[in-house]
Amino acid sequence: MKPDDKKKAAAEAALVYVESGWVIGVGTGSTANHFIDLLARIKNRIEGAVASSRATEERLRKHGINVLDLNATGNLPVYVDGADEATRHLHLIKGGGGALTREKIVAAASAKFVCIADDSKLVDVLGRFPLPIEVIPMARSYVGRRIVAHGGEPQLRAGFTTDNGNLILDVHNLEILNPVELEGELDHIAGAVTNGLFARRPADVLLLGTDSGVDKIE
């Protein structure tokens, strides 16, 4: 099965976590896009969705799905989103598409985080995928030096600005043995807005599209 078909299968399996009348959180990226397209089929049964990026907001609106502001909804029952890497402990790296900050906010405000991915995203140890960090532009060099002190190799994502007007440093060569600790340490660097580790608020369920169906890890 092609990776894209596996993503679609995982997205379809996430629909059972959506209940009638709910406002749900929706993530960003190619797997989340499949979920949005499938969500359109049941759009009349839900109240609406909170988007984790401008791109997602646009796609939801194109399908006629009601888009709501997180400030108006309060906490959400469920958030559905993809990941760049995931472990069996449900720790994730996210932000390959640069949407990590809004994604982390919506995930934090949601009772359940359903992560959808194809099985190529499952790893034993996080870090082969470069860890994205959103930084305030004036702090770019400072944050970079602090990352080097952590043993990482930061690379500026060229020509990219986040939805929040910031930059992304992609950090290579990290072997993340303790994601909970590293997430906290990176959170304390001045000028680093968000790092792409989702370990302090991990996924609650991981739905992985495989050649033989969808595996559920929880």
Ligand X SMILES: O=C[C@H](O)[C@H](O)[C@H](O)COP(=O)(O)O
Question: Does 83 carry a binding-site annotation?
Answer: yes
Q: Report the residue number, 131 or 147, with the smaller CB distance to ligand X.
A: 131
State the minimum distance, in angstroms, from the CB of residue 93 to ligand X: 8
* Least CB distance to ligand X at residue 96 (A): 3
Euclidean distance between the first and the last CA atom of the chain, given in angstroms as a whole number: 24
Q: How far is the CB of 57 from ligand X (least distance, A)?
A: 14
Residue whose CB is less far from ligand X, 62 or 145: 62
Tell me the two tokens of residue 93. 């790296």
Interface ranges with ligand X (CB under 6 A): 27-32, 81-84, 94-100, 103
Question: What is the torsional sign of CA 89, 173, 191, 169?
Answer: negative
Minimum Å distance from CB 100 to ligand X? 5
The answer to the question of whether 30 is labelled as a binding residue is: yes
The 8-class DSSP code of residue 126 comes to B
Active site residue 103: yes
CB closer to ligand X, 98 vs 130: 98
Rounded Cα distance between 27 and 2, Å, is 22
State the Cα–Cα distance between residues 114 and 25, nearest whole angstrom. Answer: 10
- Among residues 103, 153, 175, 183, the one annotated as catalytic is 103
Which residues is 122 bridged to in the sheet?
86
User: For 197, how many CA atoms within 13 A lie in the half-sphere containing its CB?
Assistant: 23
Q: 77, 112 in Cβ contact below 8 A?
A: yes
Q: Which residue is nearest to ligand X (CB)?
A: 29
Residue 152 CA, distance from chain mean position: 21
95 is in an annotated binding site: yes
69 is in an annotated binding site: no
Residues of each annotated binding site? 28-31, 81-84, 94-97, 121
Residues of each annotated binding site for substrate? 28-31, 81-84, 94-97, 121
Catalytic residue positions? Answer: 103
